[in-house]
Structure 1
Amino acid sequence: MTAAIPGGPLSVGPGTDPRQAVPGVTAPPKRRNTELAMLAFAVVITLAAQTIVDITVTGSPSPEIATFGVWFSGIWLGAHLVVRRWAPYADPLLLPCIALLTGLGLSMIHRLDIAANALGEATTTREDAPTQLLWATIGLVLFIAVLLVVRDHRALSRLAYTIGLVGMVLLAIPALLPASMSEVNGAKIWIRVAGFSIQPGEFAKICLVVFFAAYLNDKRDVLALASRRVLGLEIPRARDLGPVLLAWGLSILVLVFERDLGSSLLLFGIFVVMLYVATERASWLLIGVMLFAAGSSVAYQLFGHVRVRVDTWLDPFAYRDTGGYQIVQSLFGLGTGGLFGAGLGGGRPDQVPVAKSDFIAAAIGEELGLFGLVAIVVVYLVLVERGLRTSLVVRDAFGKLLAAGLAFGVAWQVFVVLGGVTGLLPLTGLTTPFVAYGGSSLVANFALVALLVRISDAARRPATPPAPQPPKLGEALTEVVKR
């Protein structure tokens, strides 16, 4: 499959152009005003949450609330204007969803900053909310850059193998660095140089999804072949198991050398689901689950850090003074919040270690209750649903796989994080997208949504009318001229 890039008349095959004209069908509305109204709603909710936190904890609004409001409104207005100009037919709910999630995350981080200062930790704990706002600004700059550079998502398919190599390199760098430059809390997933740190795996995730989409699009006919039926499932040929075994091996290498259970689980899960989407063979899901179970069993027996996490998950209260302290405090916080929560500023979410990043969902559950946490999950569901809808609507196969992989990546990460916070799954170290504190995750997820915006714009954009062709010589009208 080849791709069309700006300025290059490359074909993508018959019937796969996302802008192919459909006779008798009018162009869909752009819905940019709807997007602007929803963005304004997200900004209002964020400012209201910030004000409630300040009044509840300190008795009066913070003097910085006006500056924050102008800054926060300005960055989203800028992003909206860029989408209005360069992706006018994009889905109108993608940008408001991430604006609301980012704003609520900033409000909770601000609330945890106040709690840390109230405990007399101001000399050792910096204000993280302004830093997170700066990372959000950088993320939106990258969001805009992706929209301006990637004018046609199909162009990525031509560079897929190069992008995949970049993703592999980004994933491998922390494992090759000494622990002093890459290890935090036992996981070697960072690059730390001169006080600056970045988590390259967050960007590697996007690169590998692009590679998976292009590879599976090229090989889906071969991978869809079945050799026999077993218990109603069409089992693929043994020779076609190579890709899933390679993805499984990659996830095991990440688990072994970087001790990063979260990224390992995330990458393998995304690949298996994209493989199912490409081939429509449920047997691939079964094979993926079996390989995951086998790998998990072996990892539990061989690697101490995996065994500790699983044992802590099975009985956190038995390890409440050591490795289980986080999850025990998280469960107490969620139980304290109940259905309606203690109210913004009314709980003690600071009692959970690393509440700003790994356990921010527990902090939200304590202060907003089950209803508030479910409301945030619904926002994630809307974001994922719009991504999957884009996957269904876009006409080219590469775009379908790419949109499905990106959307499922967000859904899978949220499920794994919330499962860890509530004790449903072992802790993985992943962060809640857009909400949790962390620059690498926030910036990378903005780039992810930018790709979804670009694909949704291509899916809904009307076709350009074909240029009129001159009549063939045999069909030209003739006329006898008398001289």
Structure 2
Amino acid sequence: MAQQSTLMGFVHRRRRGAELFLLVLALVVGIGAYAAVGLGVQGKVPADMLGYGGWLAALLIGAHIVIRFVAPYADPVLFPVVAALNGLGLAVIHRIDLAKQAEGDAHDFAQQQLTWMTLGVILFALTLLVLRDHRVLQRFTYTSGLAAIVLLLLPLLPGIGATINGARIWIHLGPFSLQPGEIAKVLLVIAFAGYLVLHRDALALAGRRVLFVDLPRGRDLGPILAMWLVSLGILVFQQDLGSSLLFFGLFLIMLYVATERPGWLVVGALMFVGGALLAYAAVPHVRIRFDIWLHPFDYYDSGQSYQPVEAKFGMGWGGLIGRGFGDGDPNRVPYANSDFILSSIGEELGLTAVMAVLMMYGLIVERALRTALICRDGFGKLVATGLASAFAIQVFVVVGGVTGLIPLTGLTTPFLSYGGSSLIANWVIIALLLRISDQARRPMPTISDDTAAFSQDDTQVVRIG
């Protein structure tokens, strides 16, 4: 009984003080990196140092205050890690801006990224303020799925759709360019989670057994076949290898977690290999990406593999500890501030900084999966698992493409790369994870003394009303 009382009396501490301490360290990373860029490139601290540092601190501390009041039991590590990544990304983008300005390019992408970050943090706070219970999202399972499909189709519409670097994943709305797939990613996680909660019992039924693996029944292959066709459509019509891999991998992981059937992984892997071979044979853009990956130097003179080869040269030049801000030449890569920002970090801050960045991404995934483990409802478990999987797959695809582990794709590096759509969507993802973790870590409601009585034979009787 004493042990039972101890277990029932256990509650998670709020740990908001620990979050604030970690947030201060994150601000030191972000503001310190910004100052180091000015010292390394221009030989002096940036003139707007106080204004930049003050705005960044006010923005993040304000978000911390919102968490303290509306999600007091939320995970204390997620928010500071994300703040550190975003601050480092701003500093590296500013470094590349200075290099391009020296060559006559007057764009200030760092200032635009700070504006997008401000909007992202505001939406982060609004999500926490408006969404007090993540389980409400389950009501919008099919609405979220329909909205995600509409967003994925928008780039194909004439007039607003745009093709950039061979991939038709952008839309133009006046002076702004957006990637609807970033928002669709969040909606698909909600739709997948709601669907799998309702149908996981049927999907978990075993069919034919092959080599010690219970394969799913043929009648249950509809959902994974539909998602495979959607991913293949993205690959063929939008020529976006990264998003196709992300969406199909996301659904496959959530399906496996919901059903606990390894047979789904076998079926999904076979479908993925078949789709990749089909895309290689039928889609020239995909075939060129694969050929560049296998033989990058054969395409260097033509310029088709210029970026990945220069990125490898830069990371090799950076070595273990890097050349320091201002002593490298990351702007040799045309998209050094977006798709290849990790190579910019590797060149000027070295392999050590790249490993630190990967560790921070690993922390985000680990804390999200921890939230899924302790969550008390099936929908929240699947949403947290899906969001963690989205981060893990996206980072793997981006880092693998930059380092040459897998063919290059067009996904952005979360919180580091320049891009408003990705940054805003990822801040909303962190808000959803904090809301789920707050719900999971809250103490269980207790039964007060005036609502319960015990009979003489020690049988507990609960009075209702």
* Equivalenced residues, count: 449
The equivalent of 1:456 in structure 2 is 437
SS in 2 for 1:24: helix
Please report how far the alpha carbon of residue 280 of structure 1 lies from its aligned counterpart in structure 2 after TM superposition.
1.0
The equivalent of 2:256 in structure 1 is 276
Q: 2:42 aligns with which of 58, 62, 73?
A: 58
Matches of 1:133 and 1:96, distance apart in 2: 17
Could you say if the C-alpha distance between residues 452 and 51 of structure 1 is closer, same or farther in structure 2, counting changes exceeding 3 Å?
same
Code of the residue aligned with 1:208 in structure 2: it is L
The equivalent of 2:384 in structure 1 is 403
Code of the residue aligned with 2:85 in structure 1: it is L
Does residue 166 of the first structure (1) align with residue 150 of the second (2)? Answer: no
Unmatched tracts of structure 1, length 5 or more: 1-20, 476-483
SS in 2 for 1:190: strand
Q: Is contact 1:357–1:431 with CA below 8 Å preserved after alignment? A: yes
Please report how far the alpha carbon of residue 141 of structure 1 lies from its aligned counterpart in structure 2 after TM superposition.
0.8
Higher relative contact order at CA 8 Å, sep ≥6: structure 1 or structure 2? 1
Matches of 1:441 and 1:349, distance apart in 2: 22
Unmatched tracts of structure 2, length 5 or more: 460-465
Q: Is contact 1:52–1:345 with CA below 8 Å preserved after alignment? A: no
SS in 1 for 2:208: strand
Matches of 1:276 and 1:341, distance apart in 2: 41
Q: Is contact 2:234–2:243 with CA below 8 Å preserved after alignment? A: yes
Matches of 2:10 and 2:453, distance apart in 1: 28
CA deviation string 1:43-74 (max 9, x = no partner): 01111111111111111011111110000001
Does residue 151 of the first structure (1) align with residue 135 of the second (2)? Answer: no
Q: 2:192 aligns with which of 197, 212, 236?
A: 212
Does residue 363 of the first structure (1) align with residue 344 of the second (2)? Answer: yes
Residue pairs, 1:4-153, within 5 angstroms: 24-122=8-106, 126-153=107-134
Code of the residue aligned with 1:278 in structure 2: it is A
Please report how far the alpha carbon of residue 471 of structure 1 lies from its aligned counterpart in structure 2 after TM superposition.
7.9
The equivalent of 1:446 in structure 2 is 427
Matches of 1:354 and 1:99, distance apart in 2: 23
SS in 2 for 1:454: helix
Deviates more, 1:250-259 or 1:91-100: 250-259
CA deviation string 1:322-350 (max 9, x = no partner): 21111110110111111111112221111
Please report how far the alpha carbon of residue 22 of structure 1 lies from its aligned counterpart in structure 2 after TM superposition.
9.3
Could you say if the C-alpha distance between residues 471 and 24 of structure 1 is closer, same or farther in structure 2, counting changes exceeding 3 Å?
closer
Matches of 2:300 and 2:358, distance apart in 1: 28
CA deviation string 1:394-414 (max 9, x = no partner): 111111111001011101100
Please report how far the alpha carbon of residue 134 of structure 1 lies from its aligned counterpart in structure 2 after TM superposition.
0.7
Please report how far the alpha carbon of residue 26 of structure 1 lies from its aligned counterpart in structure 2 after TM superposition.
3.0
What RMSD in Å do the two structures reach over aligned CA positions?
1.6
Matches of 1:106 and 1:58, distance apart in 2: 17
Please report how far the alpha carbon of residue 121 of structure 1 lies from its aligned counterpart in structure 2 after TM superposition.
2.5
The equivalent of 1:348 in structure 2 is 329
The equivalent of 2:213 in structure 1 is 233
Matches of 1:23 and 1:55, distance apart in 2: 54
Q: Is contact 2:162–2:168 with CA below 8 Å preserved after alignment? A: yes
The equivalent of 2:171 in structure 1 is 191
Matches of 1:242 and 1:22, distance apart in 2: 47
Does residue 332 of the first structure (1) align with residue 316 of the second (2)? Answer: no
Please report how far the alpha carbon of residue 470 of structure 1 lies from its aligned counterpart in structure 2 after TM superposition.
8.2
Q: 2:401 aligns with which of 407, 420, 423?
A: 420
Q: 1:222 aligns with which of 189, 194, 202?
A: 202
SS in 2 for 1:234: strand
CA deviation string 1:354-413 (max 9, x = no partner): 110000010001111111100110001011100000000011111111100101110110
CA deviation string 1:176-218 (max 9, x = no partner): 234x642222211111022111111100000001110111111
Residue pairs, 1:251-270, within 5 angstroms: 251-270=231-250
Matches of 1:82 and 1:345, distance apart in 2: 37
Matches of 2:156 and 2:432, distance apart in 1: 28
Matches of 2:288 and 2:358, distance apart in 1: 29
SS in 1 for 2:21: helix
Matches of 2:208 and 2:277, distance apart in 1: 28
Matches of 2:325 and 2:291, distance apart in 1: 34
Please report how far the alpha carbon of residue 466 of structure 1 lies from its aligned counterpart in structure 2 after TM superposition.
3.8
Code of the residue aligned with 1:281 in structure 2: it is R
Matches of 1:463 and 1:193, distance apart in 2: 47
Matches of 1:284 and 1:382, distance apart in 2: 27
Large movers: runs of 4+ above 6 Å: none
Please report how far the alpha carbon of residue 23 of structure 1 lies from its aligned counterpart in structure 2 after TM superposition.
6.4
The equivalent of 2:266 in structure 1 is 286
Q: Is contact 2:154–2:161 with CA below 8 Å preserved after alignment? A: no
Matches of 1:315 and 1:23, distance apart in 2: 59
Matches of 1:127 and 1:429, distance apart in 2: 22
Q: 1:383 aligns with which of 351, 360, 364?
A: 364
Code of the residue aligned with 2:221 in structure 1: it is L
Matches of 1:266 and 1:371, distance apart in 2: 27
SS in 1 for 2:209: strand
Q: Is contact 1:313–1:423 with CA below 8 Å preserved after alignment? A: yes
Q: 1:295 aligns with which of 275, 289, 295?
A: 275
Code of the residue aligned with 1:355 in structure 2: it is A
CA deviation string 1:144-172 (max 9, x = no partner): 11111211111111111111111111111
SS in 2 for 1:357: coil
